[in-house]
Amino acid sequence: MLIFEHATPGRRATAQAPATMADIDLPKRFARKSPTGLPEVSEMQAVRHYTRLSQKNFSIDTHFYPLGSCTMKYNPRACNSLAMLPGMLNRHPHAPLSHSQGFLQMMYELQEMLKEVTGMAGVSLTPMAGAQGEFAGIAMIRAYHDSRGDAERSEILVPDAAHGTNPATAIMCGYKVREIPTDEQGDVDLDALKAAVGPQTAGLMLTNPSTLGVFERNIMEIARIVHEAGGLLYYDGANLNAILGKVRPGDMGFDVIHMNLHKTFSTPHGGGGPGSGAVGVAERLMPYRPIPVVARDGDTYRWLTEDDLPDSMGRLSAFAGNAGVLIRAYIYMRMLGKAGMPRIAEFATLNANYLEKRLVEAGFDAAFPQRRASHEFIITLQKEAKELKVTAMDFAKRLLDFGFHAPTTYFPLLVPECLLIEPTESETKEEIDGFVAAMVAILEEARNEPDTVRSAPHTMPNRRFDEVSAARKPDLRWRPGE
Amino acid sequence: MSNIPSELKYTKSHEWISDNENGTVTVGITDHAQELLGDLVFVEQPEVGKELEAEEACAVVESVKAASDIYAPLAGEVVEVNEKLEDEPELINSDPYGEGWLFKMKLADPDSLESLLSADDYAAEADQ
């Protein structure tokens, strides 16, 4: 129910609106002629309406949320409360450098920590989200080729197991996309890659571990093939959580990477922002980093701008990225320390492998049974869809009734009837066991009372949506009288 | 098993091709493909007059599950697109080999039709 549907003409919340308005000397032509259209509700109605809405949130704070490829992990409360200290919140972006030394020091140290954990030569924190980070990364690849007079390179190679954002980014930067197939083990098809590279190759975009939930084992060979053809290697940091403190993109031969600080380093995400797509670069891309970047001169810190980096790919925001997200990332990394960083990867992969093993024992089919999972894995419900006529979507919907957020469904596209499951490092064994028990119970239902599963969810505020109508005839706005 | 009419030609990427016997062919997606995709909600067609290379991504079909590229089965020029699909993408689900056709193209080389898969070849592919 919309707040407007609670409205009664003439009702008002007096605490918010003064009963009498001061006379304002406003020229008549500026005065509005129609009512404002604001909902006419009491304060209590407004409070109850929004409280009820907030209680409908199905979130990481209330439920296990194994949404693969999204890394919906717990963000420690301390990161948030420290980032909300008045000195952090109230610093004006135009404050002089002498008043911003503390903030700049944090940003400098964050750059340094990210360099160390990724093995890159330099970092820029300025991209405002993952998509901007990707854009900055490919724009730097273009700037590099252009600066060498190597402007004939027109193609970016993208494995078919890549995130959908990768080809979109390449197109945005003016490149053509060539898709590289994946072999049966989930690795990039090396023969196809060798056949695809050439003087037209600007670079390759790769996610490692890939969207199939496995680590690309031939990464060194891939890097050699692409580099020998004169292309550069781009690392999509979507799955960075799986390798933190264990292996570094810089050591795998990547020339440029983006990191989703909002998902790997403690900012709640999934609500559309704000985010941070910080980028890391190898030595040869240092001149092209997006500005500003923080530098240290002795004991003081300052911004590097156009004067320092004249070949920069440019600015991506009015100031320097989303400061709040960067501060949270800084605090999170400082709390973990160097010793804590690898434990993220260890527990994330341990949880994923434990969960996969238990689901397989319970009768589910892993998409890549011969491979060890990384931080996420795929099960395919092709058998269940065929034999029981109960689909991956039906399982996903029924999981909601059992108190679990559904895993990612029907992605990646390479695997039919798939669920992409990422428990993350922050869940307990008991919680994971509970998820397995729910999946087993649903499988049992699928055999004995399949309609219960097909018509799920039964306990949510809304039942199964009509996805076809939602996509064909979306109902996105409300107007008085409609 | 889904419906695979024997008189049509096919591609590995699940397009069907019908020879109109006047130098043009009609292209659509197979029953198997529409079944995998689920309910179609949007179709992006190529422009009439566009010259396509064989295996070039030239159209997009979007379902509740995924958006998928459609590839030109052979080289040629787009001569007509099925405009009904703009408002009724569900025709692809209900009648993939009839009212759900996507576009017609004039082949650069009429003999190239022979390089496509037969119904039996496609059935074997789709079965994998």
3-state secondary structure of B123: helix
Which residues make up the CATH 3.40.640.10 domain(s) of chain A?
A: 77-336
- As a three-state string, the secondary structure of chain A is CCHHHHCCCCCCCCCCCCCCCCCCCCCHHHCCCCCCCCCCCCHHHHHHHHHHHHHCCCCCCCCECCECCCCCCCCCHHHHHHHCCHHHHCCCCCCCHHHCHHHHHHHHHHHHHHHHHHCCCEEECCCCCHHHHHHHHHHHHHHHHHHCCCCCCCEEEEECCCCCHHHHHHHHCCCEEEEECECCCCCECHHHHHHHCCCCEEEEEEECCCCCCCCCCCHHHHHHHHHHCCCEEEEEHHHHHHCCCCCCCCCCCCCEEECCHHHHCCCCCCCCCCCCCCEEECHHHHHHCCECEEEEECCEEEEECCCCCCCCCCECCCCCCCHHHHHHHHHHHHHHHHHHHHHHHHHHHHHHHHHHHHHHHCCCEECCCCCCCCCCEEEECHHHHHHCCCCHHHHHHHHHHCCECCCEECCCCCCCCEEEECCCCCCCHHHHHHHHHHHHHHHHHHHHCHHHHHCCCCCCCCCCCCHHHHHHCCCCCCCCCC
B79-123 per-position pLDDT tens digit? 999 999 999 999 999 999 999 999 999 999 989 999 999 999 999
Cross-strand partners of A258: A236, A279
Average pLDDT, chain B: 93
Closest Cβ–Cβ partner in A411, A413, A468 for B64: A468
Domain locations in chain B as residue ranges: 9-108
Q: Distance (Å) from the C-alpha of residue B68 to the closest C-alpha of chain A? A: 9
Contact across the interface for A416 and B36, Cβ inside 8 Å? yes
Q: Which fold has domain B9-108?
A: OB fold (Dihydrolipoamide Acetyltransferase, E2P) (2.40.50)
In CATH, the number for domain A77-336 is: 3.40.640.10
Rounded Cα gap, residues A301 and A466, in angstroms: 55
Cross-chain CB nearest to A471 (options B36, B41, B68): B41
User: Which pLDDT band holds residue B128 (cuts at 50, 70, 90)?
Assistant: low
pLDDT at B1: 57
Chain B nearest-CA residue for A382? B36
Comma-separated ranges of CATH 3.90.1150.10 domains in chain A:
341-470
The candidate with the shortest Cα–Cα distance to A241, out of A350, A92, A400, is A350
Which amino acid does the sequence have at A328? R
At residue B95, the 3 state secondary structure works out as coil
Predicted complex: ipTM over 0.90:
no
Residue A318 neighbours by CB distance under 10 Å: 7
Tokens linked to A264: 């790997």
Residue B66 pLDDT greater than 80, yes or no: yes
What is the predicted pLDDT for the residue at B87?
A: 92
What pLDDT sits at residue A17? 64
CA nearest B1 in A: which residue?
Answer: A386
Q: What is the pLDDT of residues B1-53, one digit of tens each?
A: 589 999 999 999 999 999 999 999 999 999 999 998 999 999 999 999 999 99
> Which of A341, A344, A350 is CA-nearest to residue A377?
A350
Q: Which residues of A touch B36 (CB under 8 A)?
A: 416
Contact: B65, A410; criterion CB under 8 Å: yes
Beta-carbon separation of A467 and B36 below 8 A = no
Please judge whether A467 and B64 are an interchain contact, meaning their C-beta atoms are less than 8 angstroms apart: yes
Residue A481: per-residue pLDDT = 67
Type of residue found at B29: I
| Contact residues for A37 (Cβ-Cβ < 8 A; gap 6+) | A480
- B120 Rama class: left (phi>0) / alpha (psi -120 to 50) / beta: alpha
Residues of A with Cβ-Cβ distance to B39 under 8 angstroms: 467-468
What is the pLDDT, as a whole number, of residue B89? 95
- A291-338 pLDDT, tens digit per residue, is 999 999 999 999 999 999 999 999 998 888 999 999 999 999 999 999
Could you report how far apart the first and last alpha carbons of chain B are, in Å? 12
Q: What fold, for A341-470?
A: Aspartate Aminotransferase, domain 1 (3.90.1150)
Chain A residues with a Cβ under 8 Å from any Cβ in chain B:
409-411, 413, 416, 467-468, 471-472
What is the per-residue pLDDT across A415-434, written as a single tens digit (0 to 9) for each?
Answer: 989 999 999 999 999 999 99
Task: Average the pLDDT over B71-82 and give the result.
Answer: 96
For chain A, 482 residues long, give each residue's pLDDT as a single digit of tens. Answer: 889 888 898 888 777 666 677 777 888 898 888 888 888 999 999 999 999 998 888 888 899 999 998 899 999 999 999 999 999 999 998 999 999 999 999 999 999 999 999 999 999 999 999 999 999 999 999 999 999 999 899 999 999 888 889 999 999 999 999 999 999 999 999 999 999 999 999 999 999 999 999 999 999 999 999 999 999 999 999 999 999 999 999 999 999 999 999 999 999 876 677 899 999 999 999 999 999 999 999 999 999 999 999 999 999 988 889 999 999 999 999 999 999 999 999 999 999 999 999 999 999 999 999 999 999 999 999 999 999 999 999 999 999 999 999 999 998 888 989 999 999 999 999 999 999 999 999 999 999 999 999 999 999 988 998 888 888 888 888 876 66
Whether the CB of B39 is below 8 Å from some CB of chain A: the reply is yes
